[in-house]
Amino acid sequence: MRDSTRSRLETELAELEAAISRIEAQGDYYLQAWVSGSKPSGKAQSYPRVQSRIAQFDGKKVRHIKKSESIDEYQGRCARGQQLGKLQKQADRISTKLNDAQTWVGA
């Protein structure tokens, strides 16, 4: 790998890590989560809930939002988590490229 490419990737990685730390500083976040509505059977009213692909709500994948809680707050947490996930994935790709280049040089 060229030195210019290596330095460019290192600066991109540093920028991504700075962006990740900024998002983490904004507050709580939920990875791989979204806010959805659920309509129970019968005459009961529908209620909002946060669903996730990973168990992050006290070991569960679903958290029901109470009427006293703000839905916008949970949507913001989900949005921060989605941004954070994308940035972490990009950072992992770049660090993998840098590590692979080091192993090729060392071999």
The mean per-residue pLDDT over the stretch 86-91 comes to 96
Q: What is the mean pLDDT of the chain?
A: 89
Span 1-28, pLDDT tens digits? 788 888 999 999 999 999 999 999 999 9
Decide: residue 79, CB within 10 A, 0-12 exposed, 13-18 middle, 19+ buried.
middle
Question: What average pLDDT does the segment 54-82 reach?
Answer: 93
> Cα separation of 90 and 85, whole Å?
9
Residue among 77, 73, 69 at smallest CA distance from 33: 77
Query: Does pLDDT of 106 surpass 60?
Result: no
Rounded average pLDDT over 28-57: 87
